[in-house]
Amino acid sequence: MDGNGRWARKRGLPRIAGHRAGAKSVKEAIEAARESGVKILTLYTFSTENWKRPKYEINALFKLLENYIDKEARNLVKNGIKLSVIGKFEGLPETVQKKLREVIEMTKDNRTLTLNLALNYGSRAEIVEAVRKIITDCQSQRLMPEEIDETTLSRYLYTKDMPDPDLLIRTSGEMRLSNFLLWQLSYAELYITKKLWPDFKKNDFKRAMEEYQTRQRRYGG
C-alpha cells in the first residue's frame, strides 16, 4: 500500500494525513475483496524497515491502527471477516498487541474473508526464522534433513496455514517487492498501478481483479 507520504506531500499536508487517507482505501479494498469472493487479503501494513521512520510518525501510525481496529471490529464480525496477523507480533507496542488479540479472538470463527495484516513484517527475517526452527527440529530429531523440501519450509513460515498469493497489487508505480512475501510470491501475478494508495478505490481493486482474470498462469510450464 505505497504512496501515502507522496499523496500528502503533493497536497502540502503532513505525512500522517496521507496515512489517514490511506486508511479509507483499506476499507474500500476490504469491501471490494469481500464482494469479489476473495478469501484472503494480505495488507503490507508495517514492515521491519519502517522502524527507521521518525518516532512521531511511527507513534501516529500505530495510534491510527488502534483507532481503526476499535472502529471496525464490529464490522469485521458483521461481515464474516477473520482478522489474522503475520510478522514479529511481540515487537509491536503492547496496546496494539492487546487490541489485535481481542479482535483476532472475536473473529476467529468467521469464514467469508481472512484479513491478514503484515505487521512488523520482513520476508527475509521470516525465512531466516524458519531456517532456525528447522535446524532446531533437526537437532532434536523431530525432523530429518532428508525430509526437508519446499513444502517443509513453507510449513515453518508465518503463512503456514495459508495458500500462496495469486495476485500482488502494488500502488504508486514502484517496481519492487520491498521484502514482502518473497518465498510465497514465486508464481503470483503482478499488478502495478501508478495510483497512490489513498487514491486506490474499490473500482481500482476490481479493475486489478479483472486484469488478473485475463492472465494465463503456467507456473513455468
Cα 23 to chain center, whole Å?
14
Using CA atoms, how far apart are residues 181 and 132, in angstroms rounded to an integer? 18
In this prediction, residue 221 carries a pLDDT of: 78
In this prediction, residue 219 carries a pLDDT of: 83
Per-residue pLDDT tens digits for 165-215: 999 999 999 999 999 999 999 999 999 999 999 999 999 999 999 999 999
Closest CA to 201 of 29, 5, 75, 66: 29
In this prediction, residue 217 carries a pLDDT of: 86
Per-residue pLDDT tens digits for 10-40: 999 999 999 999 999 999 999 999 999 999 9
In this prediction, residue 74 carries a pLDDT of: 94
> Is 116 among the residues known to form the active site?
no
Active-site option among 2, 4, 120, 204: 2
User: Which residues, 6 or more positions from 220, have their beta carbon under 8 angstroms from its beta carbon?
Assistant: 187
Active-site option among 50, 79, 110, 179: 50
H or E stretch covering 72: helix 55-78
Contact 134, 156 (CB under 8 A): yes
Predicted TM-score of the model (pTM):
0.95
> Is 50 among the residues known to form the active site?
yes
In this prediction, residue 220 carries a pLDDT of: 81
Per-residue pLDDT tens digits for 175-184: 999 999 999 9
H or E stretch covering 42: strand 40-47
Mind listing the domains of the chain with CATH numbers? 4-211 (3.40.1180.10)
User: Which residues, 6 or more positions from 41, have their beta carbon under 8 angstroms from its beta carbon?
Assistant: 29, 30, 33, 113, 114, 115, 116
Average pLDDT, the chain: 97
pLDDT exceeds cutoff 90 at 218: no
